[in-house]
């Protein structure tokens, strides 16, 4: 297999697994928010603020992973080192 095919596979795994992790994390966090808001409705405003902040951080981690994957796919810094390896 060529090096570029491994890069495409790695980029796909980074983006795919990052998306799965972010979706699962936001889903669990949303369910816990609804559960805690149902138990203590007077704290709903504070909990909602914290939930949106954490949802943004979870999405930021996924977006950073996507950016790194796209960087590897377009300007792979390891391509020169791998090309010089003996076959």
Reported in sequence order, the residue ranges of 41-81 that DSSP labels E, i.e. its strands, are none
* In contact, 42 and 82? CB cutoff 8 Å: no
Among the listed residues 6, 24, 30, 59, the single catalytic one is 59
Active site residue 30: no
Q: Of 84, 83, 86, which Cα lies nearest the Cα of 2?
A: 83
* In contact, 36 and 47? CB cutoff 8 Å: yes
Q: Which residues are catalytic?
A: 59
């Amino acid at each position: 297999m060529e090096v570029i095919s491994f890069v495409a596979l790695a980029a796909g795994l980074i983006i795919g697994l990052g998306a799965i992790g972010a979706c699962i994390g936001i889903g669990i966090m949303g369910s816990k928010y609804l559960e805690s808001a149902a138990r203590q409705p007077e704290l709903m405003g504070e909990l909602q603020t914290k939930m949106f902040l954490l949802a943004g951080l979870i999405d930021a981690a996924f977006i950073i992973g996507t950016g790194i994957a796209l960087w590897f796919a377009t300007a792979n810094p390891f391509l020169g080192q791998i090309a010089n390896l003996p076959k």
